[in-house]
Amino acid sequence: MCSCQLRYQRPPGKRPAACSCPAASHRTAATRCVNDRHRPVSRKKPQRSSCRAGGARIEMASVTVRGCALCAVSLLNFAFVFVSGADFIRFVSFRAIYHNITGETSLCQDSIPWSVALRDSLVLRSLVVDVGLLALFTAQHSLLAWSPVKRVLQSVLGALNRTAYCFTTALALQILMRYWQPVTGAPCLWSVRHAPWSVWFPVLCFSLHFLCWAIICSILMIFDYPELMGIKQVYYECLGLGDPLSHKSPRAQRLLSHLRHPVCLELGVVLWLLPTLSLDRLLLAGTLSTYLALAHSLDKQDLAYLCVQLDSKMQLFAEPHRGSVDATTTDESSHKNK
């Protein structure tokens, strides 16, 4: 209590008067200034920081949800494309060879002349349906690979552009295989039915088909299978790295722009090498072979780049063997020195 308050005694029933002491007024003003300065700051700063933290959490959660959705869509598409590829192998290779070996169902009728078969309404209807299915597949495969359509889809779908292309291709293949009409009322173009080739030639076809499909799978792995399926595009999008194609060399980009189908020769063997070639199989093999030939546009620069890449891959495979040989030689020399 200051000296002025000691000197002045308040009468009973009256309010205390304000102290006129300069020290007291100075302390009161300083206290009010400090309180006025600190109260708003202590109230507003936590609110601003909490709002910023909440916005960051919401943004991070939205990015995480978007990335998870993109990954789920790409993985589901990969499963669908993988199943469709397995069904296509069964449809193209093993169905005809299996029926030829077992003889459960007849693929054609050699007793019917061509003049009669080509006037049969069932044969003509089956051929019309098959031609429509092949037109649907080739139209989808070419339209979505057209540059203006690709740019539009890239602007709309973004990282899911390649995923959408693979999905529609697999869907077109499923429709083709589901509604394909075998032509059993026409003669075969060729059929191996005489012993012992009636047994050995289907086995040879089966072995070559298996080898060709193994080569096709190996080539797809070499050509970056996750990128072909659209998985790598989604992965790079989640990491903020952009398009995977932009990280490749100009020669690689040029090759991929020309290389529509990297397995032309193997698919040609699979399509034509059969024990029995029916009329619908002739239509399928001829249409797909023509499409592969028209889409093939590699030149000498692309082939030179492929040879260089193949040599580098072979060197990578040979390096572990060289390392083991060098280690064995070093151990033998050290053993002799001992």
The verdict on residue 17 lying in a domain is: no
The verdict on residue 226 lying in a domain is: yes
The verdict on residue 181 lying in a domain is: yes
Closest by Cα among 64, 69, 82, 21 to 220: 82
Provide the domain count of the chain: 1
Question: DSSP for 92-137?
Answer: IIIHHHHHHHH--S-S--TTS-HHHHTT-HHHHHHHHHHHHHHHHH
The verdict on residue 331 lying in a domain is: no
Contact status, residue 209 vs residue 101, Cβ threshold 8 Å: no
Q: Residue-wise over 287-325: b if at least 16 C-beta within 10 A, else e?
A: bbeebbeebeeeeeebeebeeeeeeeeeeeeeeeeeeee
The verdict on residue 253 lying in a domain is: yes
Q: Can you give the residue range of the structural domain that contains 228?
A: 60-317
Listed range (18-27, 71-80, 191-200, 314-323) with the worst mean pLDDT: 18-27
CA 334 to chain centre: 51
pLDDT in tens, 232-289: 888 888 888 877 777 777 766 666 665 656 677 888 899 999 888 889 999 999 999 9
The Cα 103–Cα 274 span in angstroms is 14
Helix (H, G, I), strand (E, B) or coil at 191: strand
Question: DSSP for 264-309?
Answer: HHHHHHHHH--SEE-HHHHHHHHHHHHHHHHHB---HHHHHHHHHH
> Is pLDDT of 42 > 50?
no
The verdict on residue 69 lying in a domain is: yes
pLDDT in tens, 290-327: 988 887 666 666 667 667 767 776 777 676 555 444 54
Question: DSSP for 50-87?
Answer: HHHHHHHHHHHHHHHHHHHHHHHHHHHHHHHHHHHHHH
The verdict on residue 3 lying in a domain is: no
The verdict on residue 299 lying in a domain is: yes
Kindly report the pTM of this predicted structure: 0.69
CA distances to 53, 152, 286 from 279, rounded to whole Å, are 69, 39, 10
